[in-house]
């Protein structure tokens, strides 16, 4: 069974793939170009030789004598022009049609003449046999004419034409080869003409080995049958040795030719397969380059190219277009709740939904749960509302929100990257804003956007030219209200924009991964301030430093801190590391390592903003902190919400149970301060005790007795 499978494959019985089919077909037709060209030259030469050798004949005598050469020449010419046209080397179809018509007429003339001249006394079968090459030539010319009339555009469906032409031409070649050689043999000469034509035909019939094996086999048999009488005669004259030898030679020759045609086929098939896999690989690469790997829709590379083309196209009315930035809010919670896999499936479904709602517009996934669209401004809001309703209708236990920012490109040379960035910025402005789901980029937004760009572009200058100031906010013991420490908070005093608060620059610097520059600057200033105070002989309180999660990724934060305490000679327990709860939810590898290192080094670590996120209690369970800073959101409606005190009390007790100290932030009223003190919260921080202030102000207040320095041990 296997052998039969192999044989059918080797002989070309198996169906080719589309690519292999076209490849073989084309190489075969390319071969036909050269082969038919050679035949034309040869035949022209034969015709000239014939005329030169027989001077003084009449035209009809020349004509009759040269009909075979003419047929051969004409068929080669037809095949030549057909192949050249098929491959596309020559574009005009007129020449081909005229040629085909001329050959048809010439062939008819030759047929009529042959029948007319030789008709007398000949049986019909011999007559038909006598014009067999005329018939083939006629078929070739007719086929070519039809080809030019109907299908001059190249299409794989017409491959059959190419192969049929090659077969017909090969049959003519073989026929003449056999006839000429038999004529030669009968005069005791060689079979070279047959040999040449066999090789010739083998080259033209490569695309299906079984076809060439069949045609070559029949030709060999036919030749042998015609040759046999003279071989036999010769054999008898030579005493019986010749026939045996020649038969073997002949058989071996046949095998060689058949093997040759099969092996050329094999070679081409392998080349084609290699080519095909290369082409496939290229296609895959091309696709991957413009495809988003998670959702399968387009990626930003494609989107930017596509929208750039649309913007530049004079046919696009850009005044009616917007770039949309779409964002699913709170998607992280979805991931936390249902797992990463479900999150991915959700995003994929959402991507397809967006494509459905904007079927004719470029849509792409930018990153995470962010998508971009370039669409008509008129329907943009309405369409995003449709998606929003589906997103919200879909929600099960997780509260998801869907927001869109829009940016109208002001000119044709708008950079799509900047346009999507602006749309994204507009979208960021309505983050967590209830009942505000669509924001268009306007002048006011533009000012904010430029401020943002300014911040990103000027952080280095701000650090180098001392725009960054450190403010200190007092932290007091809840029982004595004595100062037990400070929190260092950054301020940016800018020559252009004036006073910038952290709310303006911290998120931007985090987004653009520049936050470590600011933090390194703040840490150094704090240490420098401390050293100066110590040198002045002042009593120093511990200062807590805010670390961004990115600090541990973007710089060697631990190394930096170690270097600073050594440089300024500061006791380790005078610096506390504040890490926000939200930092502990993703990409923990680096952070965990850093926390471990800090602990080994002897620093204390405080958990900032406890209760502001979603995974609070897990964080308490999984990590060791010295102090828990309870987020000020618990105090926002302390008086009105009866649950708030209960929850606060519970958290403080819980912290105590698991061996952590607690601090409550945002204390603004005496009432809350007293409550917290009663509940056992050790430290308090808030406007009640003081806003963040410059070092000089803090020193003045200590000096004037507003803050009393605690006698308690400073540790923790
Ligand atoms: P945070 O770490 O939670 O800092 C406390 C914030 O609450 C400070 O805002 C402070 O001024 C404010 N605050 C303190 N007491 C009260 C109060 O009684 N009522 C009210 N309403 N607010 C109070 P600020 O200074 O604007 O800082 C905001 C946030 O910016 C900080 O929140 C911190 O996350 C971040 N941040 C500030 N400085 C830095 C820094 O140097 N590095 C890093 N990475 N982040 C910083
Ligand atoms: Ca803090
Ligand atoms: Ca905080």
Q: Write the pLDDT tens digit of every residue in 109-118.
A: 888 888 877 6
687 lines ligand 1 (CB under 6 A): yes
pLDDT per residue as tens digits for the range 539-595: 899 999 999 999 999 999 999 999 999 999 999 999 999 999 888 876 677 888 999
Q: How many Å lie between the centroid of ligand 1 and the Cα of residue 489?
A: 6
Cα(550) to ligand 2 centroid in Å equals 15
**CA-CA distances (angstroms) from residue 267 to 153, 196, 263, 418?**
29, 22, 6, 53
Contact 390, 353 (CB under 8 A): yes
Taking only the tens place, the pLDDT of each residue in 231-253 is 777 777 777 666 777 778 888 98
Atom of ligand 1 nearest to the CA of 578: 2
Residue 492 has pLDDT above 70, yes or no: yes
Nearest-ligand number for the alpha carbon of 686 = 1
The reported pLDDT for the residue numbered 715 is 40
Tens digits of residue pLDDT in 665-694: 999 999 999 999 999 999 999 999 999 999
More confident residue, 362 or 14: 362
Q: Give the CA-trace dihedral at 206, 210, 212, 216, to 10 degrees.
A: 160
Query: What is the Cα–Cα distance from 667 to 348, expressed in whole angstroms?
Result: 45
369 within ligand 1 shell (Cβ under 6 A): no
CA 577 to CA 605: how far, in whole Å?
5
Residue owning the nearest CA to atom 15 of ligand 1: 686
**Distance (Å) from CA 17 to ligand 2 centroid:** 66
Say how far apart CA 68 and CA 146 lie, in whole Å: 25
Distance in Å, CA 608 to ligand 2 centroid: 6
Mutate to test the pocket of ligand 1, among 490, 514, 546 (most ligand atoms within 8 A of CB): 546
DSSP letters along 500-563, please? E-HHHHHHHHHHTT-HHHHHHHHHHHHHHHHHHHHHTT-----EEEEE-HHHHHHS-HHHHHHH
Cβ contact 247:255 at 8 Å: no
* The pLDDT of residue 713 is above 60: no
Cross-strand pairs, 328: 402
Query: Does 470 contact ligand 1 (Cβ within 6 A)?
Result: no
Give domain limits for the chain. Answer: 2-278, 300-441, 452-703
Q: What is the CATH number of domain 452-703?
A: 3.20.20.450
> Please, what's the b/e burial string for 263-299 (b: 16 or more CB within 10 A of its CB; e: otherwise)?
ebbeebbeebeeebeeeeeeeeeeeeebbbebbebbb
Q: Tell me, in angstroms, the distance from the centre of ligand 3 to residue 512's CA.
A: 22
Q: What is the pLDDT of residue 702?
A: 94
| 455 vs 47: CA distance, rounded Å | 89
Query: Which residues does residue 371 pair with via DSSP β-bridges, in sequence order?
Result: 326, 365
Residue with tokens 């902190």: 625
Q: Is the CB of 684 under 6 A from ligand 1?
A: no
Say yes or no: CB of residue 666 within 6 Å of ligand 1.
yes
Pairing of strands 363-367, 370-376: antiparallel
Q: What is the pTM for the complete model shown?
A: 0.59
Q: By mean pLDDT, which of 30-39, 503-512, 614-623 is the weakest?
A: 614-623
SS3 at position 293: coil
| Fold adopted by 300-441 | Alpha-Beta Plaits (3.30.70)
In order of 304, 307, 392, 454, the CA distances from 415 in angstroms are 8, 9, 33, 19
When comparing pLDDT for 243 and 135, which is higher? Answer: 135
Beta strands in 154-289 (DSSP E): none
- Measured in angstroms, how far is the CA atom of residue 498 from the centroid of ligand 2? 23
Say if CB 505 and CB 518 are below 8 A apart: yes
Residue 323 three-state SS: strand
Taking CA atoms only, the protein residue closest to ligand 1 atom 35 is 502
Pocket test for ligand 1, best of 485, 491, 502, 529 (most atoms within 8 A of CB): 502
Distance (Å, whole) CA 469 – CA 698: 14
């Amino acid at each position: 069974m296997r052998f039969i499978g192999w044989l059918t494959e080797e002989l070309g019985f198996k169906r080719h793939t589309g690519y292999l089919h076209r490849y073989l077909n084309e190489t075969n037709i390319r071969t036909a170009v050269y082969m038919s060209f050679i035949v034309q030259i040869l035949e022209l030469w034969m015709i000239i030789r014939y005329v030169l050798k027989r001077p003084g004949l009449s035209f009809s005598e020349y004509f009759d004598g040269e009909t075979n050469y003419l047929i051969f020449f004409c068929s080669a010419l037809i095949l030549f022009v057909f192949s050249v046209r098929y491959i596309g080397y020559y574009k005009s179809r007129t020449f081909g049609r005229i040629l085909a018509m001329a050959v048809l007429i010439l062939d008819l003339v030759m047929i009529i003449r042959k029948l007319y001249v030789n008709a007398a006394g000949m049986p019909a079968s011999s007559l038909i046999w006598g014009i067999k090459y005329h018939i083939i030539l006629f078929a070739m010319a007719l086929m070519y004419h039809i080809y030019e009339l109907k299908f001059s555009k190249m299409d794989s469906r017409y491959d059959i034409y190419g192969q049929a032409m090659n077969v017909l031409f090969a049959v003519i070649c073989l026929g003449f080869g056999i006839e000429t050689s038999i004529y030669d043999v009968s005069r005791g000469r060689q079979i070279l003409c047959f040999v040449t034509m066999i090789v010739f035909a083998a080259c033209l019939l490569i695309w299906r080995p079984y076809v060439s094996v069949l045609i070559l086999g029949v030709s060999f048999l036919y030749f042998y049958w015609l040759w046999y009488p003279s071989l036999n005669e010769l054999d008898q004259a030579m005493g019986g040795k010749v026939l045996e030898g020649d038969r073997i030679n002949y058989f071996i020759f046949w095998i060689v030719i058949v093997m040759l045609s099969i092996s050329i086929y094999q070679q081409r098939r392998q080349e084609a397969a290699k080519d095909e896999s290369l082409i496939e690989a290229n296609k895959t690469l091309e696709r991957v380059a413009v495809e988003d790997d998670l959702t399968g829709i387009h990626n930003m590379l494609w989107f930017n190219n596509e929208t750039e083309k649309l913007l530049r196209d004079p046919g696009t009315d850009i005044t009616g277009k917007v770039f949309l930035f779409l964002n699913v809010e709170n998607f992280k919670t979805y991931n936390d709740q249902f797992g990463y896999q479900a999150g991915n499936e959700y995003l994929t479904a959402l991507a397809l939904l967006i494509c459905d709602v904007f079927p004719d517009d470029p849509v792409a996934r930018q990153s995470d749960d962010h998508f971009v669209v370039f669409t008509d401004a008129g329907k943009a809001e309405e369409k995003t509302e449709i998606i929003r309703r589906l997103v919200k209708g879909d929600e099960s236990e997780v509260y998801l929100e869907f927001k869109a920012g829009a940016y109208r490109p002001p000119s044709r040379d708008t950079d799509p990257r900047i346009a999507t960035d602006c749309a994204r910025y507009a979208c960021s402005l309505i983050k967590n804003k209830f009942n505000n789901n669509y924001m268009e980029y306007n002048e006011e937004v533009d000012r904010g956007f430029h401020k943002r760009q300014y911040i990103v572009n000027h952080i280095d200058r701000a650090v180098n030219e001392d725009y960054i100031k450190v403010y200190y906010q007092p932290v007091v013991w809840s029982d004595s209200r004595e100062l037990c420490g400070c929190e260092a908070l950054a301020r940016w005093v800018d020559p252009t924009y004036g006073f910038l608060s952290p709310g303006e620059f911290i998120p931007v610097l985090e987004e653009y991964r520049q936050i470590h520059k600011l933090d390194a600057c703040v840490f150094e200033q704090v240490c420098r301030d401390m050293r100066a105070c110590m040198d002045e002989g002042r009593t120093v309180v511990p200062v807590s430093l805010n670390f961004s999660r990115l600090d541990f990724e973007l710089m060697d934060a631990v190394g930096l801190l170690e270097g600073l305490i050594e440089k300024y000679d500061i006791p380790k327990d005078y610096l506390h590391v504040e890490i926000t709860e939200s930092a502990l939810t993703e990409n923990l590898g680096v952070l965990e390592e850093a926390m471990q290192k800090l602990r080994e080094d002897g620093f204390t670590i405080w958990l900032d903003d406890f209760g502001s996120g979603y995974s609070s209690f897990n964080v308490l369970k999984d990590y060791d902190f010295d102090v828990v800073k309870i987020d000020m959101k618990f105090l926002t409606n302390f008086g009105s919400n009866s649950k708030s005190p209960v929850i606060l009390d519970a958290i403080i007790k819980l912290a105590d149970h698991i061996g952590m100290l607690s601090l409550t932030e945002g204390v603004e009223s005496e009432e809350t301060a007293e409550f917290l003190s009663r509940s056992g919260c050790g430290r308090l921080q808030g406007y009640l005790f003081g806003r963040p202030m410059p070092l000089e102000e803090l020193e003045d207040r200590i000096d004037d007795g507003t803050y009393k320095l605690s006698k308690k041990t400073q540790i923790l």
